[in-house]
Every structure is written in structure tokens, then in C-alpha cells.
A and B are shown apart, each in its own frame.
Chain A
Amino acid sequence: MRTDKRRWEQTKNALLFMGPSLLIFSTVMVLPFLFGILLSFTDWNGLSATFSFIGFGNYSEVFHDKVFWSSFVLTLKYVLCTVTLTNIIAFSLAYLLTGNLRGRNFLKAGFFTPNLIGGIILGFVWQFVFSRVLTTMGKSLGWSLFATSWLSDPDKAFWAMVIVTVWQYSGYMMVIYIAGLMSIPKELIEAAEIEGASSFTRVRKIVLPFLVPSIIVCVFLTVQRGFMVYDINLALTSGGPFRSTALISMNVYQTAFLSQRYGPGQAEAFFLFLVVAAISLTQVYLGKKQEIEL
């Protein structure tokens, strides 16, 4: 009797605190997600009142779609480039800014600012930079690299997206790395210094192992954002020139809403979810093994 009452008390408390957010989470995240999976097995066009189940038809269509795969491979390339570059730059900035640099607070704020600008605006600003500012500079200074707009060439347009993404996220990841660097015990580094460890050895043997939790978080965030990116893709290149830079999210959107093929669009989206989940979980799992307990 007593334990029953206590259990009820506990459930009540749990419901009181978790209930509202649980309700919202399930109505706006879980249900639409499940409904989306359901729709990927139908021939619904996004509009009609009736639809029928067609099994794995949409999935087999997606797996045979060359455009989807080329877009997927491009996205992998994009994720690889942005994750590597963002994290290297973010770590370097964080390492420099935790040292004895003058004006480091100002610099921190400066590097963080791009992250506060929305991706759409950022895309339009950089579109102007790539197609007007750099081309004008290129012409007057005679630099052939900038003579034509980067956004009108498929390869250069890809790198333009990478540059803008790295520029946007480096500041954010830098903040996470700074927090990680601050928590490393000073005496360990000082002791290593006295023992005669070079600065490179200090970074490799002390700083990096201690920083593993931050690295896990940063890599996770950049991987996930890289796969999901849509705003920069839309505002900077909108998939152009000639649909050569349409990343996976844009491809999903276009299949569902432009081509009005809802089922295959949902199937693509669910496939994307599986890939991102698998990569992120593996990465977190492998990363956790590297962590050191103090």
C-alpha cells in the first residue's frame, strides 16, 4: 500500500515535470516522424484524400535514382570537407585564443559572430561576395582565379559552399573547444613544461586526450549539420549551376515538393535519417572509448 502510493507520487512528479515537454516532443517530433515513415510506403502525392500502400516501391525507385546517388556522394564529400576544416580551424583558433594573445576577447566575439547570422542571409551576402566583389577584384587585379564567378562553375561552387559553412561554424565550435581547454588542469601542462616536453608533445599527449569530449561534441554537431544543411545551399547556389550542387536535403525537398512525388521524397528523407544516425552513433561510440577519466 505504502509503496504503491509512493510510486504514484513519483510518477505524478515525473509527469508534472516531463509531461508538457514529452507531449510537445511526441506531437511535433515523434508522430510526424512515424507518419513520415508510413507515407514512404504509399503512393500519396501530398494532396489527394486517398492513397494506397505500395510496399518498398518508393525505396527501390530511390535506390535506382542516379541523381539521388550523385547528390548523396556530393553530400558525403561536403561533410568530409566541412567537418575536417571546421574542426581544425576551430581548434587552432581556440588554442591560440586561450594563450596570451592581446585582444582575445574581442577576437573571440569576432569569430563567433558569423554563427549569429541566419544561413539564408549569410548565403545572399556571400553570393554577392563571390559573384560581384571577387569578380571585380579579379578583373582589376588580373587574377584569373576570380575572373569568373565561383558560383557559375560546379567545382568552385562546391568549394564556395564549403568555405561559407566553415566560416559560419568555426566560431561556434571554437567556443566549445575553448570551454574544453579551460578545464584542462594547469598543473599538468606546467609539469610537462618543466619536464621539458615540447609544445607539440604537450598538445598531442595532454591537450588532445583531455579534449576528447569536446571533439566528440564538435564532430557530432558538424557531421549532423553537414548532412542536414539546406539554407546555405538554397541561398548561395540554390543547387546551381545546372543542379550540380544540390545537396541531399535539397534533393529530398525537390523530389517531394517540386516534382510532387511525396512517397519517394519521404523514402529519401528516411534513408538520410538512417545514414546520419548510423554515422553519428558510431562516431560517438568510438569517441567515448578515447575519453580519459580523471
Chain B
Amino acid sequence: MKRIGVLMLSLALVLSAGLAYADVHITLLNTKGEIQAQLEDAAKAFSAENPGITLDIQPTPTGSSPFQILSSVYASGNAPTLYMGDTNDMIQFADKFSDLKNEKWIKDSSDNFEQVTTASGSIVGFPFTVEGYGMIYNKAVLAKAGVDPSKIHTTKDLEAAFKKVQATGAGALVIAPMDWSLGAHFLGIAYSLTAKDQAGLNKLVADFKAGKVDVSKNKAFSGLLDTFDVMKKYNVRKADALAVTYDECPALIGPDKVGFYFQGNWTWPQISGFATDQKGFGFIPVPISNNPADFGNSGIPVGVTKYIALDKKQNSAAQQAAGKKFLEWLVYSKTGQDAVVNKCNIIPAFNNVALEPKDPLAISIRQYVAKKQTLFWINMPAPDHWSKVGASMQKYLVDKIDRAGLYAEIQDYWKNVK
């Protein structure tokens, strides 16, 4: 009996000693599949500089919704320490995330973007990636056609540019027909111009749901769709506009086959693979009227598209502290900054990061940010808006419905959304 007692005691000692010296093990659930390898390298560098902490980067399958992934990890009790998600995820899961408002990096984050603030006043998201979108142009094609992109301020200017590009034998533009591109991003411009900020968006959505908005009377929507009509007319793939895939478009704009392409800076890796000139691209705003001074004709939507949140329900205090350390490391350490800007090709949301991004689209976005010519990035508080209204935009793209039909479908969507 005594011997067993001694055995137990020594076993307990060994165990507790083991625990005391054990590494703090934390995880980051990565929902940005394209930078998985880069993040794994960054995690190794972080562990090397912070002995005693190991960081695992968990990949997520592309195509599954972050909402679904996060609900299942929480239900199974396997919540990661750090979670990467968009504004809506942050707000929906806010009661499970730590308040980050006393962190050092709050002061250094750029004031072009709003923080994710919950009803109780806590800040739950670390702004990880800044992205922007607009009309991407190919410098070489435009130079050959004699078009100066900085002089395009109106729908008419854009049409004139399309004509000149077409006259050189190249295609004017290609429209990527994915529902997320048309529904969330393109139409998002009209929502952004109407709402201007988060409070405005909340009010706009409430008005839409109450049936108080007549889209046909909204200048931002009609102006934007007038531009869309012009884009439809000059689309190189207009004969079979819906058959265009996301992978095909970079193969057109990259090697100087078309002059313009509506998309965001996230497509740079694909364009880069085809580009004849690695520096020869930039953004111009999508014009929404024929008056150059109108709001929206000089800015592009730029926003924080991925935040990182820190779990407080299923991770220990030591793990949470280590998680905070990692976030700080991303902003203030040389290796962390290098990993974000140079390795992951991410535009940081922090003023103290001086590293210049390498790709021309990121540089173009930074210029718009510096000039404060950014539009509010829409994160629609309705989760299926991009898919359902995106489908309506696809119908409009191939003339399955006309303008009145599109307006009716948009208003119908809001009337029926729960």
C-alpha cells in the first residue's frame, strides 16, 4: 500500500513538473487558404523568437463557410486560440472573443478603417488584411491606345477609353461573372455611396427591410448600373458572358489582351503569373455619373477584410496571453512585419509598418489610402446577399431581366430576408 502511495506521489511530481515546463501551445484557424504555407513559416519564426510558445496554423477547406467551421469547432470544444474571419463573423461570435481594446496596436491602426466594436463597447478584431477593389487597368494597353487612366472620372470618359482600347485591336474589358464579384463587390459600391459608413449602412438596411427604399430613385444604384451597361457592351466575352471563369480573367488582363478588369487586389498572384510587366497595373474608381465632382468618382472601396479574434471561452489564460503576443509580434517585430507584407503580400492596417508592398495593385491601394480617397467597404449584415442578389446581377448581365426587373429583385430580396 505504501509503495503504491510513493509511486503515485512521484508520478504526480513528474506530471506537474512536466506541465510547468511544457510549451504553451496555441492555434490559429486560417481562413485564407492562399497564405497557409507563408503563415506556417511565420509561425515557426514566431516560435523561434518566443521560446516556450508553439503556434499551429490550422487550414480550412476552401469553399466552406467560416460560419460553419466556427460553429462546429465551438460545438466540439476545440476552439482555436486565434480565429481569422470577416466583420460579420466577429460580431456574431463576439461573446466568445476577448476584448482587445487595451492592446498596444490599437493606437497604431490606421483611422481609414473602423474597428469592430460590439454593443458593450469592446473591440474584438485585430485588423489583419486590408483589401481594395475597383477597375484594374493595364498600363501598356492604355498607353498604346493613348488613354491616361488618371483622367477617367466619368462614365463617358470610361466609354471613350473602352473605344480607344478597342481601336488598337485589344479587348476593352472583361467582366468576371461570379455572384460574389457582382453582388458583393460591384453592387457594394452603390450601397457604399448611399450609406457612407457603418451607421449609415445599418439605417439603409433597416429602410430596405421596411420597404422604404425605391432603388430606381437612388442615383448611386442607377448611375452605377449605367456604367455597368457600358461595361456589358464592351465586354470581350459578351457573347457568352456567364461562361467566363475567375481563372480566365487574369489570363486576359495579364498578357495585354484587355485594358480593364473589375476586381480586387487579391487577384494579383494570378495576374502576376501572366503579366508581361510586373509593375504595369493599377486601379481607377468605377465612375457612377457624368459629373467628375460627384462623390464616388474619385475613390475606391478599401477595407479590412479579415480580422483576427482571440478566444476567451476555451483557451487558458496562458494561451490567451500567447495569442496577444503573436498579434503584437505581427505589428511590431521586424520578422512579423516582413512575414505580413513581403511573404503573405498583405497590406497592413497599421501606420507604423513602413515596408512598401511589392505588387502594383497594393501600391495603388496604399496611394488611395494616403490620399484618403477610400470608400466605405460594405460588409453586408445579411449573409446570403452576395449569393442571391449576385444571381440577380448575373441575370442582368445576360439580359435575362431588365433594369426594372433587377430593381424588383433587389427590393424583393430585402423584403423577404429574415
Contact = CB atoms under 8 A, between A and B. Distances in A.
Q: State the main secondary structure of chain A at its contact with B.
A: loop
Contacts of A100: none
B394 A240 contact: yes
A261 B387 contact: no
B243 A242 contact: no
A152 B384 contact: no
A80 B239 CA distance: 32
Contacts of B92: 47
Contact of A260 (B74, B239, B383): B383
A251 B134 CA distance: 32
B68 interface: yes
A242 B387 contact: no
B67 A241 contact: no
Contacts of A152: 240-243, 398
Interface in B371-405: 383-384, 387-388, 391-392, 394-395, 398, 400
Interface string B55-72: 000000000010110010
A242 B395 contact: yes
B396 to A, nearest CB: 9
Contacts of B47: none
A152 to B, nearest CB: 4
Given A47-B93, A254-B387, A260-B383, A149 B243 contact: yes
Query: Which of B68, B243, B245, B394 has most A Cβ within 10 Å?
Result: B243
Nearest to A258: B384
Contact of B394 (A135, A149, A242, A258): A242
B217 interface: no
A13 to B, nearest CB: 35
Contacts of B245: 131
A224 interface: no
B3 interface: no
Interface in A126-151: 131, 135, 147-149, 151
Contacts of B179: 240, 242
B2 interface: no
A257 B65 contact: yes
A148 B243 CA distance: 8
A243 interface: yes
Contacts of A259: 383-384, 418
A131 B387 contact: no
A51 B47 CA distance: 42
Interface of A: 46-47, 131, 135, 147-149, 151-152, 240-243, 254, 257-261
Instruction: Give me the 4 closest cross-chain CB pairs, A-B, nearest first.
Output: A149-B243, A152-B242, A242-B391, A148-B240
Given A47-B67, A240-B394, A242-B394, 13 more contacts: A47-B74, A131-B245, A135-B240, A148-B240, A152-B240, A152-B241, A240-B242, A241-B242, A242-B400, A254-B384, A258-B384, A260-B383, A261-B418
8 contacts: A152-B240, A241-B394, A242-B391, A242-B395, A243-B388, A243-B391, A257-B65, A258-B384
